[in-house]
Amino acid sequence: MSTVVFARHAMTPAERLRDAGWVAFVGLILGIPLVGLTTVDVGGRLAVGTRFGLLAAAVATVFAGRLLLHWALDQARNRKLARARASTATAADRAHGAQKAVMLLGWVALGASVALPIFYSDNRYVVDTATTVLIYVMLGWGLNVVVGLAGLLDLGYVAFYAVGAYSYALLSTQLGWSFWEALPVSGALAAGFGILLGYPILRLRGDYLAIVTLGFGEIIRVILVNWTEFSGGPNGISSIPRPSFFGLEFARSAPEGGQTFAGFFGLDFSPMHRLIFLYYLILVLALLTHAFVSRLRKLPVGRAWEALREDEIACRAMGMNTTNIKLSAFAIGAMLGGFAGVFFAARQGFISPESFTFTESAIILAIVVLGGMGSQMGVVLAATLLVLIPEFGRNFAEYRMLLFGAAMVLIMVWKPGGLLSHREPTVRLNPLGKPAAAKEAA
Amino acid sequence: MMDTNSPDTATATLLSVQNLTMRFGGLTAIDDLSLDVPAGSITGIIGPNGAGKTTLFNCLTGFYKPTTGSLRLDHPTHGEMRLEALPSHRVARDAQVVRTFQNIRLFPKMTVLENLIVAQHNVLQRASRFSIAGLFSLPGYRQAEKEAIERAATWLQRLRLEHLADHAAGELPYGIQRRIEIARALCVDPVLLCLDEPAAGLNPRESAELNALLLYLCRELGIAILLIEHDMSVVMNVSDHIGVISYGRKIAEGTPEQVKNDPQVIKAYLGEDDEDAENSGNAVTEGAAA
């Protein structure tokens, strides 16, 4: 691989050509099975046909594209260098600028998400997709506690999502609990599972930790598939009650002794009411999650999580009980995942183990990593991207997941620390905005 | 805030290491070592590389469980404590024996101020009452946080670091990171401060500043210091008392003058014969510095 480099130094034209040649060669090898060979229908039988013309075009495109990419990167680098030379901004000013930009982005995102159903009140697809984005944002914020702040690589996060979803599904279908009654209980159950997982892996780190969490995620899924009497097995649980708006059902006709949402407000019944309600519900849940996690980050427990990520041994030398810190991170991350699971079950009305596969864990983890570990706004950006890219990709049919993967690779090449890697300190001795006064004092 | 030991108690023993042995499989890192650390003074530990000095610190601070032997701490408020029975976080939290590391272990992405506040975790965590008081920012927690910041600021000022408070600790120069690590350890409110090669990588001017700091901590604030150091300009100048370890055994103990002239010590450092004792004073200095 040494011939294909993401060079930081300026490359000579010969190096450029060689590099592009190598990339085209890789493209050729990948392209032979993907593009060069195809199956054709010959009188009802399948035969292997060739498309070498197309393959040659693809390889040529790769070659030209690589050259173009390098040219574009050069341009970008030169501009960046020029800017760096021109600016006299100090590190503190830059931090201030970054923080302001993130704040602005946050407010814009909040405004857009509040206004979205108003503009798309009759577009089921948009509201549905936005709801999915918000579920992933919430899951990302939950996992951010474990991975981004505490630095504990968790590959089985979807297990807690499943615990939340199944708790609500079973509590509501078996015991008739309402959404609001089941929400805290399911969250607590998920937190309990978080601690359950936390105990055996206290001594593990890095790769080993990841493997055990991966196993835990699979155990939960396999139990759900096989314990048919309890969870309905692969058939899942259906007709899960939907949440009501303060007791008002979203239905065409009122249940006995009840009232419908549309009837109460004198509106014509529309199935969109429920969708928009669900959208705002997850928006509120996600915002609460954000407020909760942001606040925790500035509390001793949050700082302890970050310190644990930075250096566990130093934590112990400072008298911190790392056992409690790890367990609290697992419990709180799991609880937030559980809440998201409850919402998921209530929104879908049907759940089965298929919704809780490893792929889900991987996507949630990708959201946290792409967003920038520990960055709350980064999670929003990454979740939006990772949900929307496959949606836009629907036009590309079978190339959808290829596009998805390519986008992830590009983001990591372009921003190795994640989309938003700026870390805002939890506390400052000299608050930003008045650095001059601080310097005089010092 | 500090437990100030008056000078007349300086002769009392704060920490008593008795017959300490630490084996890793077939390797005996520390072999039947006994050592007393007096209260309110600076005790230096020297010895060639691999002598078991850092292993001693690891046993002392609960990172290793000693194979045999006892570590008795005469804590000013809690009375006698057995350090070998405590897990590492309780050694720092309850026994207030706090260490630094040979290879600096800061929280690199956190700011200097955050590093110092994390060191006050236990006080703040209590004040935040399982984070509930903290979540709602109740007055009791706000007050505790303010005090923690003030305390960190005081230490930063004393160590002339306050202009760096909001910088990420990992981005600062090596010598400054060493100072931050000491400041962070001081925020834990130590009774005994264990410094593992605090002068490593410091230039002569920084070493001189370190000397002044150690003397200030010990003489003015009454913090007992246990010091592992190779830089003889530091050890010989500030230590009241020095223990020399070689191959896990204590080979000499005494004042800097006594240790400097001890033939055993010279032999351990230079492997030379005892006859050459004439320039022994310099020999230790040069041998250790090399």
Question: Are B209 and B281 in a shared domain?
Answer: yes
Question: Are B122 and B263 in a shared domain?
Answer: no
Which site among A429, A432, A434, A440 would you substitute to test the B interface, given the most B Cβ atoms closer than 10 Å to its Cβ? A429
Write the residue in B94, B106, B118 that is nearest to A303 by C-beta.
B118
Q: Give residues 266 to 295 of A whose Cβ lies within 8 Å of B.
A: 292, 295
Q: How far is CA A67 from CA A1, A13, A15, A415, B239, in A?
A: 17, 10, 11, 20, 65
Chain A positions touching B178 (Cβ under 8 A) are none
Q: Could you give the CA distance from residue A184 to residue A182 in angstroms, rounded to a whole number?
A: 6
Helix/strand/coil for A243: coil
Cβ pair B41, B49 in contact under 8 A: no
**Closest residue, chain B, to A310 (C-alpha):** B107
Question: Is B2 part of a structural domain of the chain?
Answer: no
- Specify the pLDDT at position A10: 62
Question: Is B4 part of a structural domain of the chain?
Answer: no
Asked if B163's CB is within 8 angstroms of A314's CB, the reply is no
Residue A286 clears pLDDT 90, i.e. is over it: yes
Question: Are B202 and B85 in a shared domain?
Answer: yes
Q: Chain-wide mean pLDDT for chain A?
A: 86
Give me the number of domains chain B comprises: 2
Strand pairing class (B241-246; B249-254) = antiparallel
Among the three residues B183, B198, B231, which one is the final residue of a domain in this structure? Answer: B183
Question: Are B87 and B202 in a shared domain?
Answer: yes
Question: Are B220 and B92 in a shared domain?
Answer: yes
Q: Give the strands of the sheet with B13-24, arranged side by side.
A: B27-38, B13-24, B68-75, B79-82
Residue B284 clears pLDDT 60, i.e. is over it: no
Outline where A233-375 has alpha helix (H).
261-264, 271-297, 300-310, 312-317, 322-348, 358-371
Region A60-81 average pLDDT: 88
Cβ pair B19, B68 in contact under 8 A: yes
Q: Could you give the CA distance from residue A249 to residue A274 in angstroms, rounded to a whole number?
A: 9
Other C-beta atoms lying within 10 Å of the C-beta of residue A166: 28
Q: Could you give the CA distance from residue A242 to residue B143 in angstroms, rounded to a whole number?
A: 45
Question: Are B36 and B81 in a shared domain?
Answer: yes
Burial class (CB in 10 A: 0-12, 13-18, 19+), A201: buried
Round the CA-based radius of gyration of chain A to a whole number and report it: 26
Q: Could you give the CA distance from residue A100 to residue A95 in angstroms, rounded to a whole number?
A: 9
Measured on CA atoms in the order B132, B135, B137, B142, is the torsion positive or negative? positive
**Amino acid letter, A161:** Y
Region A256-276 average pLDDT: 79
Residue with tokens 């004073």: B281
Residue A57 clears pLDDT 70, i.e. is over it: yes
Q: Could you give the angle at the alpha carbon of A326 between the alpha carbons of A353 and A221, nearest 5°?
A: 10
DSSP A396: G
Question: Are B222 and B249 in a shared domain?
Answer: yes
**Closest residue, chain B, to A305 (C-alpha):** B118
Between residues A78 and B24, the one the model is more confident about? B24
Dump pLDDT digits (tens) for A40-50.
888 888 888 88
Which pLDDT band holds residue A122 (cuts at 50, 70, 90)?
confident
Bridge partner residues of B194 (DSSP): B99, B226
**In angstroms, what separates the C-alpha of A96 from chain B's closest C-alpha?**
12
**Closest residue, chain A, to B163 (C-alpha):** A442
Region A376-403 average pLDDT: 83
Q: How far is CA A295 from CA A291, A327, B6, B126, in A?
A: 6, 18, 43, 17
3-state percent breakdown (helix, strand, coil) of chain A, nearest 5: 75, 5, 25
Residue A88 clears pLDDT 60, i.e. is over it: no
Region A11-27 average pLDDT: 87
Question: Is B5 part of a structural domain of the chain?
Answer: no
Question: Are B204 and B88 in a shared domain?
Answer: yes
What CATH number is associated with residue B242?
3.40.50.300
Q: Measured in whole angstroms, how far is the alpha carbon of residue A17 from the centre of its chain?
A: 38
Helix/strand/coil for A41: strand
Question: Are B137 and B277 in a shared domain?
Answer: no
Question: Is B252 part of a structural domain of the chain?
Answer: yes
Dump pLDDT digits (tens) for B31-71.
999 999 999 999 999 988 888 899 999 999 999 999 999 99
Structural domain boundaries, residue B166: 107-183
Q: Could you give the CA distance from residue A9 to residue A11 in angstroms, rounded to a whole number?
A: 6
Which pLDDT band holds residue A189 (cuts at 50, 70, 90)?
very high
Q: Give residues 125 to 164 of B whose Cβ lies within 8 Å of A.
A: 125, 128, 131, 134-135, 145, 149, 152-153, 156, 162-163
Question: Is B283 part of a structural domain of the chain?
Answer: yes
Q: Could you give the CA distance from residue B217 to residue B224 in angstroms, rounded to a whole number?
A: 8
Tokens of A415: 């921003």
**Amino acid letter, A304:** A
Bridge partner residues of B70 (DSSP): B18
Residue B74 clears pLDDT 60, i.e. is over it: yes
- Specify the pLDDT at position B283: 45
Q: φ, ψ for residue A4 (rounded to 5)?
A: -100, 110
Question: Is B223 part of a structural domain of the chain?
Answer: yes
- Specify the pLDDT at position A161: 96
Q: Could you give the CA distance from residue B69 to residue B21 in angstroms, rounded to a whole number?
A: 6
Question: Are B86 and B219 in a shared domain?
Answer: yes
Among the three residues B156, B183, B210, which one is the final residue of a domain in this structure? Answer: B183
Question: Largest alpha-carbon pair distance within chain B?
Answer: 73
Q: Please tell me the least confidently modeled range out of A50-64, A191-205, A237-251.
A: A237-251
Question: Is B114 part of a structural domain of the chain?
Answer: yes
Residue with tokens 């019944």: A269
Burial class (CB in 10 A: 0-12, 13-18, 19+), A314: buried
**Closest residue, chain A, to B91 (C-alpha):** A319
Among the three residues B164, B183, B202, which one is the final residue of a domain in this structure? Answer: B183
Burial string for A316-326 (b: 16+ CB within 10 Å, else e) reads: bbbbbbbeebb
Region A339-360 average pLDDT: 93
Residue B277 clears pLDDT 50, i.e. is over it: no
Q: Could you give the CA distance from residue B249 to residue A286 in angstroms, rounded to a whole number?
A: 61
Of all residues in chain A, the percent with pLDDT exceeding 90 is 45
- Specify the pLDDT at position B288: 45
Question: Are B194 and B87 in a shared domain?
Answer: yes
Question: Are B33 and B163 in a shared domain?
Answer: no
Q: Which H, E and C letters describe chain B, residue by residue?
A: CCCCCCHHHCCCEEEEEEEEEEEECCEEEEEEEEEEEECCCEEEEECCCCCCHHHHHHHHCCCCCCCEEEEEEEECCCEEEEHHHCCHHHHHHCCCEEECCCCCCCCCCCEHHHHHHHCCHHHHHHHCCCCHHHHCCCHHHHHHHHHHHHHHHHHHHHCCCHHHCCCEHHHCCHHHHHHHHHHHHHHCCCCEEEEECCCCCCCHHHHHHHHHHHHHHHHHHCCEEEEECCCHHHHHHHCCEEEEEECCEEEEEECHHHHHCCHHHHHHHHCCCHHHHHHHHHHHHHHHHC
Tokens of A204: 């593990």
Write the residue in A91, A314, A322 that is nearest to B107 by C-beta.
A314
Which site among B60, B61, B131 would you substitute to test the A interface, given the most A Cβ atoms closer than 10 Å to its Cβ? B131
Which site among A299, A305, A428, A434 would you substitute to test the B interface, given the most B Cβ atoms closer than 10 Å to its Cβ? A299
Which pLDDT band holds residue B10 (cuts at 50, 70, 90)?
very low
- Specify the pLDDT at position B8: 46
Write the ipTM.
0.86
Cβ pair B90, B77 in contact under 8 A: no
Write the residue in B89, B113, B131 that is nearest to A296 by C-beta.
B131
Which site among A305, A310, A324, A325 would you substitute to test the B interface, given the most B Cβ atoms closer than 10 Å to its Cβ? A310
**In angstroms, what separates the C-alpha of A308 from chain B's closest C-alpha?**
8
Q: Give residues 85 to 104 of A whose Cβ lies within 8 Å of B.
A: 91-92
Asked if B114's CB is within 8 angstroms of A427's CB, the reply is yes
**In angstroms, what separates the C-alpha of A427 from chain B's closest C-alpha?**
7
Q: Give residues 52 to 111 of B whose Cβ lies within 8 Å of A.
A: 61-63, 88-94, 98-101, 105-111
Question: Is B20 part of a structural domain of the chain?
Answer: no
Asked if B109's CB is within 8 angstroms of A423's CB, the reply is yes
Q: φ, ψ for residue A80 (rounded to 5)?
A: -65, -45
Between residues A429 and B289, the one the model is more confident about? A429
Which pLDDT band holds residue A78 (cuts at 50, 70, 90)?
confident
- Specify the pLDDT at position B1: 41
Which pLDDT band holds residue A90 (cuts at 50, 70, 90)?
low
**Amino acid letter, B266:** I
Q: Could you give the CA distance from residue B193 to residue B224 in angstroms, rounded to a whole number?
A: 6
Of all residues in chain B, the percent with pLDDT exceeding 70 is 90
Bridge partner residues of B254 (DSSP): B242
Residue A437 clears pLDDT 50, i.e. is over it: no
